[in-house]
Amino acid sequence: MKSKSDKNQSKLPWWVELLFVQIGLPDSWLSKYLKKKKEAASFINENKKNIVYSAIIIAGILYIYPIVRYTSSSASCIDKTTKYLKSNNTNSAQNAIDINSLAVGFCHGGSLPE
């Protein structure tokens, strides 16, 4: 039969049982861990609003960054192709709009006219 003191004690979590009872890690590590866990929980509880705003801003940046990178790469390709077409312009009758449209077509998978 279990004594009254055994009923009052709660069962240790499995990771505490494994690391600190079975393996024998220092008890000071457990107390430091539990203290930091309590501090972190209170910090999160006090700053929920700021944490949510920060998470939304970071998610927005992570969502927009690939779009900005693709647009920058595309603009760079169009600029370089336009300069190439202007320097090797065999047909001087083409205006800037035609050259730009040829450059856009090339950068999106087309071919340059011969």
The one-letter amino acid at 50 = N
State whether 42 and 72 are in the same domain: no
Q: How far apart are CA 102 and CA 8, in angstroms?
A: 81
pLDDT score for 76 = 95
Q: How far apart are CA 67 and CA 62, in angstroms?
A: 10
State whether 39 and 65 are in the same domain: no
pTM exceeds 0.75: no
Closest alpha carbon to 112 in 79, 80, 85: 85
- Residue 24: inside a domain, yes or no? yes
State whether 78 and 32 are in the same domain: no
**CA atoms in the 13 A half-sphere facing the CB of 25:** 12
Which tens digit of pLDDT belongs to each residue from 23-81? 999 999 999 999 999 999 999 999 999 999 999 999 999 999 999 999 999 999 999 98
Contact indicator for 79, 99 with CB cutoff of 8 Å: no
State whether 103 and 59 are in the same domain: yes
Q: Is the pLDDT of residue 87 over 90?
A: no
Q: Which domain holds residue 99?
A: 48-114
Tell me the residue length of the chain.
Answer: 114
Between 44 and 111, residue with greater pLDDT: 44
The number of distinct structural domains making up the chain is: 2
